[in-house]
Amino acid sequence: MKAVVFLCVVASLAVPRHEAFGQAIGSQKAREPEEEKATTPPAPVQTYATSELDRTIEKLPPNFNGHDIALVYSAFEERKKESEKSEFETTEQWHQRQAALLLKPIIGRMTAGSIWAFKIVDVRSVYDADNQVLHVYVPLHEVRSSAGLASNFRSMWAKFKSTDSSYVCTNGFGATAEVQNTRYTIHHVAFGNAQAFPTVPTVEVKDGDLSTVAIHVSVPSEPDAARQMKPELSALAVGRLTAPFTTSLYYGDTATVSSPYATQNQGNCVMTELLEIWIYDRNSGVIHAKVRPHD
């Protein structure tokens, strides 16, 4: 049976009314001091690196977040407008302008040729007690885009955001239903040299299935140390930026009568030459492993 697709009508959302408080005019009685209300402390502001990564260091600053991939993506999207050839400039002038754009700083003094580090948000691990090894997996995803990229391009998730909403839809028979809608915005570190790193096929781990192949890192560790390491494990994708620098992916699922759920997936990719994967402790900054391409 074919699924019947809803025709969507966005429902209006009720906006809470805010009341203003103040002392009544002409009141002669002093107001009693109100009890101090408990307030929720604001969430810590996430800070990012603004200088080039030193690949020789043995320890990162505590709570290191790497460089802001969303800012890098936005900067190159803006540059695409600047890089368009004008009908009033020669090809030689256009090439010179492209070369100058590559030297233009993106963050601080960092350019496309600098050493960048993007924190990866999807890192999984399984401990092998018999061999006292912590197996770390960083899932890789296929990059499907219209940018004409080679089929060997893979990506890792560096930033993930989801937003939930709902709306009322009506199908062709007049039936209505409330649709739950989720929009995902994912920033990817994309690269074409995944085959140069140690990978394993899809494996089953405690947290679920790795959707595709994964970069695999073995970290020798005694049981007590591994137990402390697992919750704080993080990974850095270390590399240089490469042309075409950015590409985007979009796909989604439409709500139907039998399944009133809809999703939109926006993938923003920053293209890199992957030089290393670092496995580290996000709280202390201790680096457990640096994985380089095969020789």
Q: How confident is the model over 150-194, as pLDDT tens digits?
A: 778 899 999 988 888 888 877 777 778 888 888 889 999 999 999
Q: Kindly state whether residue 60 falls inside one of the protein's structural domains.
A: no
Residue 205 maps to a domain: yes
pLDDT of 9 above 90: no
Task: Output the pLDDT for position 26.
Answer: 35
Q: Yes or no: say if 293 and 44 are a contact pair by the CB < 8 Å rule.
A: no
Residue 244 lies in a domain: yes
Q: Write down the mean pLDDT value for the chain.
A: 80
| Assigned domain for 145 exists | yes
pLDDT computed for residue 211 by the predictor: 57
Report the predicted TM-score, pTM, of the whole model to 2 decimal places.
0.76
Q: What is the mean pLDDT of residues 189-204?
A: 85
**Residues facing residue 166 across a β-bridge:** 180
Closest by CA to 165, choosing from 155, 179, 151, 152, is 179
Instruction: Give domain status of residue 41, yes or no.
Output: no
Structural domain that includes position 97: 65-81+88-291
Residue 1 within any structural domain of the chain = no
Instruction: Give me the number of domains the chain comprises.
Output: 1
Q: Is 115 inside a domain boundary?
A: yes
The predicted structure's pLDDT at residue 3: 42
Tens digits of residue pLDDT in 37-92: 556 556 556 799 999 999 999 999 999 999 999 999 999 998 887 777 788 888 88
The whole-number pLDDT of residue 210 equals 45
